[in-house]
């Protein structure tokens, strides 16, 4: 049974049983504390926690998920993959344990000709909480499961919770016995006797209790929830390899075609070699994961989600290289994954041009990285060998990995080819330190998220009413005050607190638009609004500083947005839509916005594009945008169901999460039609003017434009006009003659610089003869040390040192020159063949000199340099070289 068919049967089965069939949410998690959607229940967390009322009593979905915490195990086990799909069915105060168990058993065991999966019920084992008698009775008495196949476990092994006070409950986990060829038989109250025989394919979570404070599983159960919930997850890939009779998830129909294509490219055969099998599985998994991540709007970068995608793509390319493939691999592999996934996700085929452009660009960039990284690695290896060592330092391997994206296993492989080992432990220690820093950051974010208990209490009376679309001043009531995550009754002058109103005109930061500024007055208190956020859906939180008086919970208040701030914000946000539409008009529909930020007077917009915009293209985009402004296009908005908005052609931005009811903003009708919750002008002419100020790369396949709008744009143009006026007066030309005159001045300046450089080099070479004549015998060699003074560049110092060395003949000789280049002290050391035969190495001596300068250095045995920060230490640096030479 094909994976797409397993998926269809899941949705059909629960759809026929009155479940709302909910489409998969984006892989980009709406929860700021996690990067990706990591489980099928993530989109339903607010309904399970009770912070939001579920729009349906029961639901079903097949959710796209990404997990990368165990990426090193990908390809090595039957169960680990980065991208996977989780079949889920959910109940919010509707059916509970008996219903969930019946559904799971029926769909699992019903014959395939009747719409089920046809699994053998006699081979299904179930693990339960040892106190869950209700589930045990349903399984053994109603369904007829052999009691020996029901394993009862303590709470620490069979319980779900969020890690903080809130819902919790036991699980019922369904395992399938794959047969004796996969491992020993279960016995002694366990379904984990070793091997891959018993595969957990479905987990039923019963959200039954309210848990209290505590760490790990050591917390009290405070009682049963008023509204119980069901959250189940069945691994689609696991069911697929069970039903398709495959060994593991890599061999199912949505994954294996990429392995077959990689076999064809590499000439390696799957099943012939353990390490090659791992590499082929890594390629198949990571190519599919990358396809789906880019499809959901992630672009490669050096942080966050983009870094995870970059790592997946680079691991794919690296694995193909280790399989012997040096040519670009993704143009062969990515289309195969697209075709395998399109039956379930047709959007990856429809959007393939954009997806492939980003993926291929990243591969090209990494291939260049491999070239530069190889050069750096070769240099490091040569230095180790020249110093008589046999191990590449861990910090060098880490720098290759962290700075250049050079994989550690490639470093290990290439170092071994040249007879060296790598200090893997040192590398691992540095990696561990980096992960701990990242983990601490994630913990801090999670802690901030967890502190929302007080905010959830303030959300219970209802959502904050936003009045800012139609008014800037609103009478309201202070619902509550929060300081350091704790509800407080009063805030005094000088304090900064979070304040929640029942009604507000203040726009909370979202959709790329910065939050509003303004004042709130309450019972004589004046509060400056510093920030406005929406940490919980439906709750607007104002961060305020108490300027005068004191404010109490329950006080009547007047919230007033700064009208100048709001006008600038409206101009900038509408300007963002106009620039987006202009980009699509000039470049084509593929130039889709992938992110934005706007505040009064300024906007930036990231969009999918794989090359820099020429000056002519930038001018054209700017002209199209300003023509639209001059045409005084109408700006309107309306609410409609999300499917209707998509059919209407409204653009939904990658990574954004939308409700079923959405707000569509139009500028000039269909010319600009986007889903947006921001504040906007009434007519495009109110934007004033748009002036593009910059365009740059923000990652592979992604560009960024920046612009000023309104008065800020006018001020920018005025500054440029003043600059042009100053230049024309200085150069005595008309404005239109400026480019030619400036080009002439620059050309003459370059010629003068060349002439000066020639004169300077001549002076240095004239000094070479005198320095060579002054060489003194020190230890095994003739030695020249000299402090040159200020030089234009290190190249001048190098030229002089090589000239002096050449004048010293075949006898062992060494030259050490010190100088200041670009305000930094530097020492250049050069040795001839005789000196090197005597054991004098330029690299080691340059490093020694650099230590005296408070810096570092090194290089080859014949020529090397070192630098630092303390120019006054140049005499000491040269003396250190002299002393080392004297000691031989």
pLDDT score for 275: 86
Mean pLDDT of 652-658: 61
Q: What is the pLDDT of residue 590?
A: 82
Instruction: Band the pLDDT of 654: cuts 50, 70, 90.
Output: low
- The pLDDT score that the predictor gives to residue 443 is 44
Kindly tell me if the per-residue pLDDT of 821 is higher than 50: yes
| pLDDT the model gives residue 545 | 94
All structural domains of the chain = 3-248 (3.30.930.10), 256-369 (no CATH), 453-561 (2.40.30.130), 566-719 (3.30.980.10), 775-886 (3.10.310.40)
The Cβ of residue 611 has, within 10 Å, a number of other Cβ atoms equal to 11
181 DSSP 8-state letter = G
Residue 379 burial (10 A CB sphere; 0-12, 13-18, 19+)? middle
Who's near 164: CB < 8 A, 6+ residues apart?
450, 453
For residue 868, give every residue at least 6 positions away whose Cβ sits within 8 Å of its Cβ, in sequence order, or none: 824, 825, 850, 852, 853, 854, 855, 856, 877
Nearest Cα to Cα of residue 288 among 77, 66, 8: 66
pLDDT of residue 822: 85
pLDDT score, position 437: 66
776 token code pair: 């003194």
Confidence of residue 64 (pLDDT cuts 50, 70, 90): very high
Burial class (CB in 10 A: 0-12, 13-18, 19+), 267: exposed
What pLDDT is stored for residue 639 in this prediction? 93
| Band of residue 449 on the pLDDT scale cut at 50, 70, 90 | very low
Residue range 706-727: mean pLDDT, rounded: 92
The three-class DSSP label of residue 223 is: strand
Q: Classify each residue of 768-779 as buried b or exposed e, where b means 16 or more C-beta atoms within 10 Å of its C-beta.
A: beebbeebeebb
Average pLDDT over residues 75-93: 85
Mean pLDDT over 61-80 rounds to 79
256 vs 339: CA distance, rounded Å = 12
Lowest model confidence (mean pLDDT) among 468-472, 590-594, 706-710: 590-594
Residue-level pLDDT at 274 = 82
What radius of gyration do the chain's Cα atoms show?
A: 34
Handedness of CA 43, 48, 50, 54 (dihedral sign): positive
Confidence at residue 625, expressed as pLDDT on a 0 to 100 scale: 96
Q: In whole angstroms, what is the distance from residue 629 CA to residue 689 CA? A: 7
pLDDT band at 79; cut points 50, 70, 90:
low
- Residue 416's pLDDT band, with cuts at 50, 70 and 90, is confident
Residue 146: the pLDDT is 92
Q: Using CA atoms, how far apart are residues 580 and 10, in angstroms rounded to an integer?
A: 39
Measure CA of the first residue to CA of the last residue in the chain; give whole Å.
77
Q: Do 597 and 603 contact (CB within 8 A), yes or no? A: yes
8 Å CB contact between 360 and 333 = no
Q: Which of 856, 469, 869, 470 is nearest to 678 (CA)?
A: 469
Please state, in angstroms and rounded to a whole number, the distance separating the CA atoms of residues 636 and 683: 9
CB 536 within 8 A of CB 456: yes
Beta strand 58-66 pairing with 20-21: parallel
Tokens 């900038």 correspond to 572
Q: Which residues contact 204 (CB under 8 A, 6 or more apart)?
A: 97, 100, 101, 104, 171, 172, 173, 174, 230, 232
Of 410 and 122, the structure prediction assigns the larger pLDDT to: 122
pLDDT for residue 447: 39
Cα(573)–Cα(578) distance, rounded to whole angstroms? Answer: 9
Q: How many angstroms separate the Cα of 751 from the Cα of each of 727, 731, 756?
A: 22, 19, 9
> Measured on CA atoms in the order 590, 594, 599, 603, is the torsion positive or negative?
negative
pTM (two decimals) = 0.61
Confidence at 435, pLDDT banded by 50, 70, 90: low
User: What is residue 388's predicted lDDT score, i.e. its pLDDT?
Assistant: 81
- Look at residue 478 in the predicted model and tell me its pLDDT: 96
Is the pLDDT confidence value at 450 over 50?
no
Dist. CA 400–CA 405, nearest whole Å: 6
DSSP H or E segment with residue 239: helix 236-243
The reported pLDDT for the residue numbered 438 is: 55
Nearest to 578 by CA among 460, 671, 443: 671
Give binding residues for Zn(2+) as ranges.
573, 577, 676, 680
What pLDDT is attached to residue 48?
84
pLDDT value at 341 more than 80? yes
Mean pLDDT of the chain: 88
Question: Is the per-residue pLDDT at 754 higher than 50?
Answer: yes
Are the C-beta atoms of residues 262 and 320 closer than 8 Å to each other? yes
593 membership: H or E segment, kind and range: strand 593-599
Per the CB < 8 A criterion, the answer to whether 785 and 878 are in contact is yes
- Better-scored residue on pLDDT, 189 or 184: 184
What's the whole-number mean pLDDT along residues 696-706? 84
442, pLDDT greater than 50? no
pLDDT of residue 264: 94
Whether the Cβ atoms of residue 534 and residue 498 lie closer than 8 Å to each other:
no
Q: How far apart are CA 315 and CA 75, in angstroms?
A: 12
Check residue 234 and give its pLDDT: 94
Per-residue three-class SS string for 107-169: HHHCCHHHCCCCCCHHHEEEEEECCCHHHHHHHHHHHCCCHHHEEEECHHHCEEECCCCEEEE
Q: What pLDDT is recorded for position 33?
A: 63
For residue 556, the model assigns a pLDDT of: 95
Q: Give 189: exposed, middle or buried? Use CB within 10 Å, 0-12, 13-18, 19+.
A: exposed
State the DSSP string of 836-886: HHTT--HHHHHHHHHHHTTSEEEE-SSEEEEE-S-GGGHHHHHHHHHHHHH
> 189 or 179: whose pLDDT is higher?
179
Whether residue 246 is predicted with pLDDT greater than 60 in this model: the reply is yes
pLDDT band at 140 (very low <50, low <70, confident <90, very high): very high
- Report d(CA 237, CA 235) in Å as an integer: 6
| CB contact at 8 A, 504 and 519 | no
| Tokens 């008309």 found at | 734
**194 neighbors 180 (Cβ within 8 angstroms):** no
Using pLDDT thresholds of 50, 70 and 90, give the confidence band for residue 160.
confident
pLDDT for the residue numbered 32: 60
Beta-carbon contacts of 723 under 8 Å, excluding residues fewer than 6 positions away, are: none
Say what percent of the chain tops pLDDT 90.
57
Phi, psi (5° rounding) for residue 761? -65, -35
- As separate numbers, helices (DSSP H) first and strands (DSSP E) second, the chain gives 24, 35
Residues 146-154, mean pLDDT to the nearest whole number = 92
Give the pair of three-digit tokens for residue 644: 């209707």
pLDDT top residue among 49 and 854: 854
Would you call 32 exposed, middle or buried from its count of C-beta atoms within 10 A (0-12, 13-18, 19+)? exposed
The winner for highest mean pLDDT among 169-173, 483-487, 659-663, 822-826 is 169-173
Q: Residues marked as binding?
A: 573, 577, 676, 680
What value does the mean pLDDT take over residues 451-457? 77
Would the pLDDT of 580 be above 60? yes
pLDDT of residue 451: 47
Would you say residue 868 has pLDDT above 70? Answer: yes
* For residues 248-271, average pLDDT: 93
Cα angle 747-753-757, degrees, rounded to a multiple of 5: 150
User: Nearest 5°: phi and psi at 595?
Assistant: 175, 155
Q: Is residue 653 pLDDT above 70, yes or no? A: no
Residue 861 has pLDDT above 60, yes or no: yes
The average pLDDT across 630-653 equals 88
* Positive or negative torsion for Cα 255, 261, 265, 267: positive
Sign for the CA dihedral angle at 250, 252, 258, 259 comes to: positive
Instruction: Tell me how many degrees the CA angle 477-524-476 measures, rounded to the nearest 5.
Output: 15
User: Residue 407 pLDDT > 90, yes or no?
Assistant: no
């Amino acid at each position: 049974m094909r994976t797409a068919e397993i998926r269809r049967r899941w949705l059909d089965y629960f759809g026929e049983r009155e479940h709302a069939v909910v489409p998969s949410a984006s892989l980009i998690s709406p929860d700021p504390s996690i990067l990706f959607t990591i489980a099928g229940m993530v989109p339903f967390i607010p309904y399970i926690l009770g912070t939001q009322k579920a729009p349906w009593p029961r639901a079903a979905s097949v959710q796209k998920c990404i997990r990368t915490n165990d990426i090193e195990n990908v390809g090595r086990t039957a169960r680990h993959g980065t991208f996977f799909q989780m079949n889920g069915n959910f109940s919010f105060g509707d059916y509970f344990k008996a219903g969930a168990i019946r559904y799971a058993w029926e769909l699992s065991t019903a014959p395939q000709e009747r719409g089920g999966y046809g699994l053998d019920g006699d081979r299904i084992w179930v693990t339960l909480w040892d106190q869950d008698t209700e589930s045990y009775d349903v399984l053994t008495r109603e369904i007829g499961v052999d009691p020996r196949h029901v394993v009862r476990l303590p709470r620490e092994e069979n319980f779900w919770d969020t890690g903080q006070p809130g819902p919790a409950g036991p699980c019922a986990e369904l395992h399938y016995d794959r047969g004796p060829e996969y491992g020993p038989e279960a016995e002694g109250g366990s379904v984990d006797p070793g091997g891959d025989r018993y595969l957990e394919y479905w987990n039923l979570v019963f959200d039954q209790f309210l848990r209290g404070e505590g760490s790990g599983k050591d917390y009290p159960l405070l009682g049963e929830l008023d509204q119980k919930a069901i959250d189940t997850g069945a691994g689609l890939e696991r069911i697929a390899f069970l039903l398709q009779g495959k060994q593991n998830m890599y061999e199912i129909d949505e994954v294996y075609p990429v392995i077959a294509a990689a076999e064809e490219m590499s000439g390696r055969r799957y099943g012939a070699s353990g390490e090659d099998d791992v590499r082929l599985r890594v390629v198949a998994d990571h190519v599919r994961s990358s396809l789906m991540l880019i499809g959901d709007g992630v672009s490669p970068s050096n942080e966050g989600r983009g870094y995870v995608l970059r790592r997946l793509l680079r691991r794919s390319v690296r694995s193909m290289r280790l399989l012997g493939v040096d040519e670009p691999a993704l143009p062969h592999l990515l289309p195969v994954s697209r075709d395998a996934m399109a039956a379930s996700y047709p959007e990856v085929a429809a959007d393939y041009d954009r997806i492939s452009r980003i993926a291929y660009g990243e591969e090209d960039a990494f291939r260049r990285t491999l070239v530069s990284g190889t050069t750096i690695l070769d240099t490091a290896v040569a230095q180790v060998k020249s110093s008589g060592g046999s191990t590449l330092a861990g910090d060098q391997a880490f720098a290759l990995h962290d700075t250049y994206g050079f994989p550690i296993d490639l470093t290990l492989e290439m170092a071994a080819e040249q007879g060296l080992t790598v200090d893997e432990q040192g590398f691992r220690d540095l990696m561990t330190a980096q992960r701990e820093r990242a983990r601490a950051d994630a913990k801090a974010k999670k802690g901030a998220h967890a502190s929302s208990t007080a905010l959830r209490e303030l959300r219970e009376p209802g959502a904050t009413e936003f009045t800012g679309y139609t008014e800037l001043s609103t009478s309201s009531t202070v619902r509550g005050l929060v300081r350091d995550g704790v509800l407080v009754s009063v805030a005094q002058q000088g304090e900064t607190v979070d304040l929640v109103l029942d009604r507000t005109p203040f726009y909370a930061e979202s959709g790329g638009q910065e939050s509003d500024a303004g004042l709130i007055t309450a019972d004589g208190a004046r509060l400056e609004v510093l920030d406005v956020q929406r940490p919980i859906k439906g709750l607007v939180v104002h961060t305020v500083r108490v300027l005068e008086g004191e404010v109490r919970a329950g006080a009547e208040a007047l919230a007033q947005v700064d009208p100048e701030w709001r006008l600038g914000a409206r101009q900038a946000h509408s300007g963002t839509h106009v620039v987006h539409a202009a980009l699509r008009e000039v470049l084509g529909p593929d130039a889709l916005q992938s992110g934005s930020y706007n505040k009064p007077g300024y906007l930036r917009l990231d969009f999918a594009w794989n090359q820099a915009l020429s000056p002519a293209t930038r001018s054209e985009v700017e002209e199209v945008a300003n023509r639209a402004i001059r045409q005084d296009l109408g700006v309107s908005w309306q609410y409609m169901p999300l499917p209707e908005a998509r059919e209407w052609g409204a653009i939904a931005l990658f990574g954004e999460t939308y409700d079923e009811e959405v707000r569509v903003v139009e500028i000039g009708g269909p010319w600009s039609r986007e889903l947006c919750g921001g504040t906007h002008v009434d007519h495009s002419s109110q934007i004033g003017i748009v002036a593009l100020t910059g365009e740059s790369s923000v990652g592979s396949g992604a560009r960024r434009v920046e612009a000023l709008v309104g008065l800020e744009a006018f001020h920018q143009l005025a500054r440029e006009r003043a600059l042009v006026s100053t230049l024309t007066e200085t150069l005595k030309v008309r404005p239109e003659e400026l480019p030619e005159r400036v080009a002439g001045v620059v050309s003459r300046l370059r010629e003068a610089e060349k002439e000066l450089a020639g004169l300077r080099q001549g002076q240095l070479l004239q000094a070479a003869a005198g320095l060579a004549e002054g060489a003194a015998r020190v230890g095994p060699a003739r030695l020249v040390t000299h402090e040159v003074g200020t030089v234009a560049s290190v190249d001048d110092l190098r030229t002089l040192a090589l000239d002096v060395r050449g004048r010293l003949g075949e006898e062992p000789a060494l030259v050490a020159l010190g100088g200041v280049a670009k305000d930094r002290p530097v020492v250049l050391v050069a040795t001839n063949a005789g000196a090197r035969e005597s054991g004098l190495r330029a690299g080691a001596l340059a490093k020694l000199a650099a230590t005296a300068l408070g810096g570092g250095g090194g290089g080859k045995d014949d020529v090397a340099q070192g630098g630092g920060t303390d120019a006054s230490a140049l005499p000491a640096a040269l003396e250190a070289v002299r002393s080392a030479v004297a000691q031989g």
